[in-house]
Chain A
Amino acid sequence: MRWMWIDAITDYEPNKRLVAVKNVSLSEEHVHDHFAATADEPALPMMPNSLIVEGMAQTAGVLVGSVNAFREKVVLAKIVRVNIEQDVVPGQSIRYDATIERMDDAGASTTGTIERLDHREGSWRPIGRIDLIFSHIDNNMSGLEFPEHNFVFGENFRTLLRTAGLDSVCG
């Protein structure tokens, strides 16, 4: 099963914008190691920034894939910019708001903002931005061949779309 880093899609504007949320939980094992207690320091569990980037990549990737009804194999090709100014800890939620900036047969560039919800405060606050480039790998093969079936967008992504009421987007 592919490791999913978004829990739900909350907003979708076809060909333009997709918003997804992720709830960070203390039951997720990766936060136990990031950072585990040492002889000198107590444990400091938090969502790794690298996985926040992956969450944005999945959000923006679904958006880019949806433009051509998931016929293209969309892969993350370049992390253009990452700026995460505050940590996200268990009990907080992350909101990824991705927008397509440019897109053609070769790929797409996206811009995205990250917000954090602290349930004690009850409001979303911006904590950074992540801009990415995706490649449509079947159009950038450079002599390589890939399987015909779309291994990028599997059943997990379809479930996400279906539970968001976006069955028609699946193609």
Chain B
Amino acid sequence: MALSRDDIQNKISEVLEEALGVDQDEITQEATLIGDLGAESIDFLDISFQLEKAFEPDCSPDRPFKIEQGELFPENVLSDAELVENGRLTDQGMVLLKEKMPHVDFSEFEADRSVSKISELFTVKTLVDFCERKLSVCAA
């Protein structure tokens, strides 16, 4: 049976508690992973591994819940001079980021495009959306 959004959220909360050492009540939908929950870059690898493990039973073996490197948190966009200019994403950078992160709502970010605000895009809700989207494919 497909997981409900609440089930997905509960599994993600457990992963975040374990990976980031945060309390359950800190894990709100709006909480940003980096700013509010204190995630560092290596934590994204830990979170990816733990999500794969948590959702493994919900997917068929021939379509595993596999998070590719850079899928959750694009790594190369910010260091590419063609994609960032004066600390802001270029049009090309914006297109690439949207393409790489279809699970993220860019509506507020797009007005400013400041690279320093990219970390604010990664909220708990983003993570739930990301996993729900992946599960719709792998558990179908």
Contact = CB atoms under 8 A, between A and B. Distances in A.
B73 to A, nearest CB: 10
Interface of B is mostly: helix
19 contacts: A77-B42, A78-B45, A101-B49, A102-B49, A102-B52, A102-B53, A107-B45, A109-B46, A109-B49, A133-B45, A133-B49, A135-B42, A135-B45, A139-B69, A140-B41, A140-B42, A140-B75, A142-B79, A143-B79
Interface of B: 19, 41-43, 45-46, 48-49, 52-53, 68-69, 75, 79
Nearest to A133: B46
A105 interface: yes
A77 B45 contact: yes
Chain A to chain B: the 4 pairs with minimum beta-carbon distance, closest first: A143-B79, A106-B69, A77-B42, A102-B49
A104 interface: yes
B75 A142 contact: yes
Contacts of B49: 101-102, 109, 133
A105 B69 contact: yes
A80 interface: yes
A140 B46 CA distance: 13
Interface string A85-110: 00000000000000001101111010
Contacts of B46: 78, 80, 109, 133
